[in-house]
Amino acid sequence: MSVDATHEEARAGWSQTDTVAGLLAMIAIFACALGLVWRPVRVIPFAVVLTLIAARMSERQERLAGWALAACVTCWTLGMAVAIITENPLY
């Protein structure tokens, strides 16, 4: 079995849905990081919705979506605390 054949078999398992789900999960992680520093009530619920869509869309990306959801919870907690402590607007 050649290296190219092994690569082709591994690549054949990934569908376009898996790729889109991974992209949605990464966008959700980025949105959580943005919500940490800028209006968490506006940004982080959007990220949670993206995470749930990514988790449901693909079984292969459920783990990444789980990490994205953990990032959302952490950034929500920290973002709300920072916004309240610094007296910045929440939304």
pLDDT for 9-29, tens place per residue? 556 678 899 999 999 999 999
**The predicted structure's pLDDT at residue 8:** 60
Residue type, 91: Y
Q: Is residue 61 part of a domain?
A: yes
Residue 10 counted as domain residue: no
What is the C-alpha separation between 87 and 69, in angstroms, rounded?
A: 26
Eight-state DSSP code of residue 13: T
Judge whether 9 lies within some domain: no
Q: Is residue 3 part of a domain?
A: no
What stretches in the chain show pLDDT beneath 50?
none
* Residue 5 maps to a domain: no
Is residue 34 included in any domain, yes or no?
A: yes
Q: Which amino acid is at 68?
A: A
2 lies in some domain: no
Q: Which domain holds residue 46?
A: 16-85
Whether residue 8 lies inside any domain: the answer is no
Q: What is the domain count for the chain?
A: 1
Residue 46 is predicted with a pLDDT of: 94
